[in-house]
Structure 1
Amino acid sequence: MASSEQRVVCVGLICFDMITVCDGFPLEDTDTPCREQHWARGGNASNNCTVLRQLGVPCELVGTLAADDAAKFLRDDLSTCGIPHDRCVEDPAGATPTAFIIINALNGSRTILHESTRASEVTAAQFDDVDLRGCGWVHFEGRSRNVAEMREMVARIRRDDAADSIVVSVELEKPRREMEQLLPLGDFVFVGKEFAVFSGYESMRAAVEGLREKVRGGATVICPWGEEGACASTSDGTVFTAAAEPPEKVVDTIGAGDTFIAACIAQLYKGASVEAAIQAGCRVAGAKCGQMGLKDLKLPPPSPLCKPREGTINLNL
């Protein structure tokens, strides 16, 4: 769908993650030993870029970066991973969004405590400084407190003569009513299970069929649904489903939904069908759940049979 020389621009959160791996979820008011602790770069758009880069798609990250020590770690990691971020907005008065994450090593679940009250969001005026020449795709992480600005950013893309061929995708994850305003914005609309259930849908098929009426003409709706896999509906009403492909043992589910989105975009960017894209999304997300972190990911071959798995996979966006 996009030229191999065109880049994918991801707009959204860059987060500093502090990860603790425990043998079971700790009880309140106890002193619990853990297996390991480490820092990682997180945030949906940031994770999207990490996966896109490893799948061979040129990409660029546009978000906000503060002037604190956590932001220095994030900048260094982005540089190490080869992710261009020089158009990120500097926010010297703000603070880096942080997440304290507990991984239960017995089942791979992740519990997240997130703080971003002092973090700023990219504005439409700041996005105007992004040169869209050489850009084939822009993906927006839906941020409930930044909906109006996102609408302006997409409007700029739609009216920009240099952006006639740019594909726009949006992600709706959090159960917030204002997020509904983002549905008509994307050529591809990624809807998380949490938002779909909040919107009254009890299955991934019901979600993509119901929300198809609320997106722009010609758009495709894609919805991952955890252990049930993923579903997509194209503008002509065709519905595709893909089975989940979990690892033999679930190790770490942090960023599984971000991985699914990035793998889908990577395949669509390379000209694959919607059906092939969601199948690839399930495979790469499953592989991610079988390892710690997002690095060294690749597209596994299709699995002839669903593998048995220990633990629970969470592909909620």
Structure 2
Amino acid sequence: MGSLAPGHIADFILEDLTRCGIDVTNVITQTGCSLPTSIVISNIISGCRTILHMNRNLPDVTAQDFEKVDLTRYKWIHWEGRNANEQLKMISRVEKYNSTAPKEQRITISVEIEKEREELYQLFPHGDLVFVSKDVAKSLGFSCAKDAVIGLYPRVKSG
């Protein structure tokens, strides 16, 4: 699920995803917006990369958009931390669904916290699986992956 602005580039993206067997049923077309463009500049020698983003007026998916999703079709839903307050509402809907669903029909919830933004950290306790970037781990004071796992343990869901 995601947002796209209308136009020939979005048409190309949707056609390509469909050709690759990816279901685009839940893509939200946002009118009056521009499709974001990212350019990646890679340094072959050092392996570093710089990403340039343009056209940042495309809205993120909202909880209201997510209400249209048929949860019975999914076994795993992943959220990339963006608009955390809306995402918490979406996750809450899945948690409510899971609380009444038989074990074999429950949906695994995963969250990714890549950006060093405090508001995203409220997602930590809601994932069955939580992905954390090296930058976030370092910003929270951890110097290696092992320390991050141990240090973040109290902030994540038990298990």
Per the normalisation by structure 1, the TM-score is 0.47
What is the one-letter code of the residue matched to 1:131?
D
SS of residue matched to 2:72: coil
1:162-200 superposed Cα distances (whole Å, 9 cap, x missing partner) = 586111000000111111111011000011101111111
- Calculate the aligned-residue CA RMSD, in Å: 1.7
Greater helix share, structure number: 2
CA contact (8 A) 1:170 1:188 kept: yes
Alignment of 1:181-200 (within 5 A): 181-200=122-141
Identify the residue that residue 84 of structure 2 maps to in structure 1: 147
Alignment of 1:269-308 (within 5 A): none
CA 136–117 in structure 1, closer or farther in 2 if over 3 Å, else same:
same
Runs (4 or more) in structure 1 with deviation over 4 Å come to none
Q: What is the rounded CA distance, in whole Å, between the counterparts of 1:132 and 1:162 in structure 2?
A: 11
CA 163–122 in structure 1, closer or farther in 2 if over 3 Å, else same:
farther
SS of residue matched to 1:133: helix
1:203-239 superposed Cα distances (whole Å, 9 cap, x missing partner) = 1111111111011222xxxxxxxxxxxxxxxxxxxxx
- Structure 1 gaps, min length 5: 1-61, 219-317
SS of residue matched to 1:181: helix
CA 107–163 in structure 1, closer or farther in 2 if over 3 Å, else same:
farther
Q: What is the rounded CA distance, in whole Å, between the counterparts of 1:162 and 1:87 in structure 2?
A: 22
Identify the residue that residue 100 of structure 1 maps to in structure 2: 39
Identify the residue that residue 122 of structure 1 maps to in structure 2: 61
CA deviation after TM superposition for structure 1 residue 107, in Å: 4.6
Note if 1:217 corresponds to 2:158: yes
CA 153–116 in structure 1, closer or farther in 2 if over 3 Å, else same:
farther
1:26-74 superposed Cα distances (whole Å, 9 cap, x missing partner) = xxxxxxxxxxxxxxxxxxxxxxxxxxxxxxxxxxxx0011103321222
Identify the residue that residue 180 of structure 1 maps to in structure 2: 121
CA deviation after TM superposition for structure 1 residue 150, in Å: 0.3
Q: What is the rounded CA distance, in whole Å, between the counterparts of 2:12 and 2:138 in structure 1?
A: 36
Q: What is the rounded CA distance, in whole Å, between the counterparts of 1:163 and 1:178 in structure 2?
A: 32
Note if 1:169 corresponds to 2:106: no
CA 190–106 in structure 1, closer or farther in 2 if over 3 Å, else same:
same
1:131-179 superposed Cα distances (whole Å, 9 cap, x missing partner) = 0113111111111xx1100000000001124586111000000111111
Identify the residue that residue 250 of structure 1 maps to in structure 2: none
Higher relative contact order (CA 8 A, sep 6+): 1
Note if 1:157 corresponds to 2:94: yes
What is the one-letter code of the residue matched to 1:81?
C
Per the normalisation by structure 2, the TM-score is 0.90
Q: What is the rounded CA distance, in whole Å, between the counterparts of 2:46 and 2:141 in structure 1?
A: 29
Q: What is the rounded CA distance, in whole Å, between the counterparts of 2:18 and 2:12 in structure 1?
A: 10
User: Which of 112, 135, 145 does residue 204 from structure 1 map onto?
Assistant: 145
- Structure 2 gaps, min length 5: none
CA contact (8 A) 1:64 1:120 kept: yes
Identity in percent: 40
CA 163–76 in structure 1, closer or farther in 2 if over 3 Å, else same:
farther
What is the one-letter code of the residue matched to 1:209?
I
What is the one-letter code of the residue matched to 1:193?
K
Count, aligned residues: 155
1:86-108 superposed Cα distances (whole Å, 9 cap, x missing partner) = 11111012221210112234454
Q: What is the rounded CA distance, in whole Å, between the counterparts of 2:140 and 2:38 in structure 1?
A: 26
Identify the residue that residue 40 of structure 1 maps to in structure 2: none
Identify the residue that residue 75 of structure 1 maps to in structure 2: 14
